[in-house]
Amino acid sequence: MNQSQEPQHDGGFIPDLCQVRAVFLLVLTTELVVLLFALARPSSGLLDWHYLGLASLLAQWVTLTAAGLICALRRQLESLGVPLATVAITLLVLVDTAAFTLFGQWLLNPALSPLDAPFTLLRNLLMAALITLMVLRYFHLQYQRRRQEEAEVEARLAALQARIQPHFLFNSMNTIASLIASDPEHAEEVVLDLSDLFRVSLNTAGTRLIPLSEELRLCERYLAIEKLRLGPRLEVDWHLDDSASELPVPPLILQPLMENAVYHGIQPLTGGGTIRVESERTRRWLYILIHNPLASDQAGRHQGQRMALENIRARLQAVYGDTAALKASQGSDHFTVTLRLPGNRENKA
């Protein structure tokens, strides 16, 4: 099952106020606004501490209760769309503000009627409305910027992945062509395997992450095709960490590396060789190693190999930023590529 194709909730323009960090930032921002009003208020000293205390108490109660209500109603609010959600949140904050203002007036002076001090209520409602609208506008601008950045990343990933597929098809068709004359039965088998391979490839088109097990199955099918062409010259030694099988990885992130190992490592060697594939999951990281033998006269001769590595580095950067890494090392008779990816199930772009 392709876990990354499940619809993901991007949060809309309303931030997740169920998170402690978001609530802390909201409380801090509220206190800074109250402090500004307190500093602007005429007083005999630098600051009217009595006003600051009462205003902070009122503002923080309004902030925390409104945040709790928005947290509980977030899904319903987002389903309204931006204009209606903005109106609904503003009305919610105004009702909250009115309730705490009237409660505070009664608490400080039970004999005082709300009608005796209407300007306090109106002033608080006006300030709450203006601040709420400004905060919501900021959230909406942040949401638009985030969506634009995500769209740019998706476009980059699509372009980078599109470069891989024609190259993969070209090499696969060459494999079929080489088998048609020498082994027609196997050529037909390769065509069927190739159709399955491209079905998987097309199913992952537009998908940012798939389970590692799915990517490895695609690699196994590809190597099975090459095994029909190269025969006993190609061997694959798998050492896989079962606990990493469901970790998400970008699609077609390993297949080009397998292709490089075959075309630039195994194929030029008369006796062929063994590709070693290892995966290891640690507390923080997923490591994937691909090791292949290398003919001594092949060192530094393949521009296509470097292009594939740069393509994968660009895709890793687009998906993970600086978190993931690809390291390639070359000896006199071997070539090794090591991928380091985030080792948790929730890793995402």
Sheet holding 273-281, edge to edge: 234-239, 273-281, 285-293, 334-342, 325-330
Q: What is residue 298's predicted lDDT score, i.e. its pLDDT?
A: 60
User: What is the model's pTM?
Assistant: 0.56
- The CA distance from 56 to 62, in Å, is 10
Under a CB-based contact definition with an 8 Å cutoff, are residues 215 and 257 in contact? Answer: no
Q: What is residue 235's predicted lDDT score, i.e. its pLDDT?
A: 95
Which homologous superfamily does the CATH classification assign to the domain defined by 183-342? Histidine kinase-like ATPase, C-terminal domain (3.30.565.10)
Q: What is residue 212's predicted lDDT score, i.e. its pLDDT?
A: 93
Task: Say which residues have a Cβ less than 8 Å from residue 198's Cβ, sequence separation at least 6.
Answer: 169
H or E element, residue 327 = strand 325-330
Q: What is residue 349's predicted lDDT score, i.e. its pLDDT?
A: 46
- The CA distance from 3 to 5, in Å, is 5
| pLDDT tens by residue, 149-158 | 666 666 555 5
Split the chain (349 residues) into runs of 10 and give each run's mean pLDDT: 40 77 83 81 71 80 85 84 86 85 71 63 83 85 77 58 58 72 74 73 72 90 83 93 91 87 89 94 94 76 68 85 90 91 70
Q: What is residue 347's predicted lDDT score, i.e. its pLDDT?
A: 57
End-to-end CA, the chain? 20
- The CA distance from 70 to 78, in Å, is 10
- The CA distance from 94 to 62, in Å, is 9
Task: Say which residues have a Cβ less than 8 Å from residue 106's Cβ, sequence separation at least 6.
Answer: 112
Task: Say which residues have a Cβ less than 8 Å from residue 35's Cβ, sequence separation at least 6.
Answer: 52
Q: How many CA atoms lie within 13 A of 15 on its CB side?
A: 19
Q: What is residue 19's predicted lDDT score, i.e. its pLDDT?
A: 81
Under a CB-based contact definition with an 8 Å cutoff, are residues 283 and 247 in contact? Answer: no
Sequence ranges of the domains in the chain: 8-146, 183-342
Q: What is residue 67's predicted lDDT score, i.e. its pLDDT?
A: 85
Q: What is residue 4's predicted lDDT score, i.e. its pLDDT?
A: 39
Q: What is residue 120's predicted lDDT score, i.e. its pLDDT?
A: 74
| pLDDT tens by residue, 47-92 | 777 777 887 888 888 888 888 888 888 888 888 888 888 888 888 8
